Structures are given as structure tokens and as C-alpha cells.
Amino acid sequence: MSIDVDMAPAVGIDPDEDTPLARASLAAMEIRSGELTMPRPRHRRVFSVANQKGGVGKTTTTVNIGVALALAGLHVLVIDLDPQGNASTALGVERKSGTPSVYDVLLGEITPAEAIQTSPDAPRLGCIPATIDLAGAEIELVSMPERETRLKKAIEAIDTYYDYILVDCPPSLGLLTVNAMAAVDEVLIPIQCEYYALEGLGQLLRNIGMVQEHLNRELIVSTILLTMYDGRTKLADQVANEVRNHFGDIVLRTTIPRSVKVSEAPGFGQSVMTYDPGSRGAMSYLDAAREIAERGTRELA
């Protein structure tokens, strides 16, 4: 249920109450008033958001975690490395062919700063978009020198102004994903609470291990987020328990529920954080972002 905060007093909602309705009202008021805050990491944190299995909420997670952090006063950059460009669309930035994009950055034709656009939803959030040109990038990169580390060199050139950089990976284990893994410090893996949740995850972890061995010894899988949770089914609980038992503390306490509002938001060129800040989906991503921010201060202190 979404709440219009302007109506909250009229329907007798007490923000001090610990109820779902009150939490929704409070979250929406925080977001819309600009009073939302989260701790700043001591050092810039650079994530790839990856899972080669499609439809797990990877791009949705990148966008909504990024917007939540930005609305909380942190400076965030999203790099859309998926040729489908869905993160760029959801952040409301230009992505038509010919727009300065991550494709041009990877080829070394422009600097990252020349490709960054500001999301209209969040003034502190920048985005390097993906255009259709990126679809052929893997083939072009094959013959280029240092083909696995071109994104790493680009990120090293990005101003330290940003507290968080989130790289939205394509749903594959190709050269673009390898570039992302070589360029970042941390991997965030969204896992859906469904029957085939762990399908292909072993191969992703093996690839991460190979990148650690040959390209990026600092790389760690720091965060797993359970998505598409449906509390009405035993299966969702079974999958969640299995993932938590296997991966332990790197799994966030927060789970992301199935939500119509989360699905609707990209169609309006928005994140759910701004499309319907009082919805269950927005509150869940807000909680997940807060966990990530709080973990960062502990880990980096």
C-alpha cells in the first residue's frame, strides 16, 4: 500500500508508531523532505552488481540502492554496463545512439567525466549510460590491448567526489562483466527467492575466483541481497534459509519483496524510491541501502 504523506495527518497516522503504515509514512516524509541521512564511507566503495542469471532484480537493485544512497546525502555514480540500458532508462538519463556513453569510455574516445549525466530523480546521482552501441563492444574489445582492464583505468580517472560507484553488469559472464570485476573492490549479488535461485551461481563464483587470481586480488563478494521474496510461499523461506546458511553474514538482513510498484517505476523513467517512496518496495530498498552504508563504516573504519 502506498501512502501520500500529505494525507498522513488527515488519516491519523502517528509516525512514532512502529507499524507498517507509520513506517511507510515516515520513510516517504524523509525522502520527500530531504531529511534522509546515511553514514559516509571513509573510502570510496566500488561495487559491481552481478548475476549472469537474468530476471533476478540486478538492474532494479543497482538503480534503487543507488538512488536511496544519493537521497541520503551521499554522492553516487551508476555505470550502466548492460547493453540493454535499463539502468539508464530507470534513472531518466539520455541513452539514444550517439549519446556519450560507457561504450565511448571503454574505447578510450572520451573521459568518464564527459559521459556522466545527472539523474533528474537525485541531484547527487550521476550515471554513465549504456547505448545500443555497447552491444558490439565485446567483439571490439577482444582485439584491444588491456581488454580486461579498460573499465578499471576509466574508474581510476573518476574524481574521488563519489562515495559509491555501482556498476550494473550484463546478465552474462563475458568480457564486459570481466571488466567490471577487474575494476571494482566489491561484488553485490542479487539472488531471487525462487526455485532456480542458485542455478549458475557456482559458475559466477568460479569466474570471480579467476578474476581474483589473475586481475584483481582485492576483489571480494561482500554483499548478497535476496530479491522477489513472497512471504506467502514456503519456497521463498526455504531459499532464503538455504542462501543464509551457505553464505552467512554477507547476506543482508533485508529482503526485497515482490512489488508491483517496483515493476512499474522504470516505465515512468524513475526508481521506486521516487515513484512511490511509501511503498513496500521502496522501504525495503531503503533498508538495504542503509545496511550497506552501515556495514561500510564498520568494514572501512
**Contact between 27 and 286 (Cβ < 8 Å):** yes
Task: Give the pLDDT of residue 18.
Answer: 58
Helices (H), the chain: 20-33, 58-71, 86-90, 102-106, 112-115, 137-142, 150-156, 175-183, 201-214, 234-247, 260-264, 272-275, 280-300
Is residue 250 located within the same domain as residue 158?
yes
Same domain flag for 200 and 221:
yes
Per-residue model confidence (pLDDT) at position 300: 44
Residue 126 shares a structural domain with residue 29: no
Choice between 75 and 35, residue whose per-residue pLDDT is larger: 75
pLDDT of residue 184: 97
The answer on pLDDT for 95 being more than 90 is yes
Q: How far apart are CA 262 and CA 290, in angstroms?
A: 18
| Nearest CA among 295, 287, 270 for reference residue 60 | 270
What CATH number did the domain enclosing 167 receive? Answer: 3.40.50.300
Tens of pLDDT, residues 268-296? 889 999 999 989 999 999 999 999 999 87
105-157 per-position pLDDT tens digit? 999 999 999 999 999 989 999 999 999 999 888 889 888 889 999 999 999 99
Task: Note whether 17 and 140 are same-domain residues.
Answer: no
Same domain, 173 and 262: yes
Reading the block at residue 36, the C-alpha cell is 534522509
Domain match, 228 and 168 both: yes
Query: Which residue range is the domain that position 183 belongs to?
Result: 42-300
> Which of 214-252 are b and which e, b meaning 16 or more Cβ less than 10 Å from the residue's Cβ?
ebbeebebbbbbbbbbeeeeeebeebbeebbeeeeebbb
Question: In angstroms, how far is CA 88 from the centroid of its own chain?
Answer: 12
196 and 294 fall within a common domain = yes
Shared domain for 136 and 284, answered yes or no, is yes
Q: Check whether residue 28 and residue 124 sit in a common domain.
A: no
Number of domains in the chain: 2
* 3, 141: one domain: no
Q: Is 9 exposed, middle or buried (0-12, 13-18, 19+ CB in 10 A)?
A: exposed
Report helix, strand or coil for 54: coil
SS3 184: coil
Q: Check whether residue 131 and residue 259 sit in a common domain.
A: yes
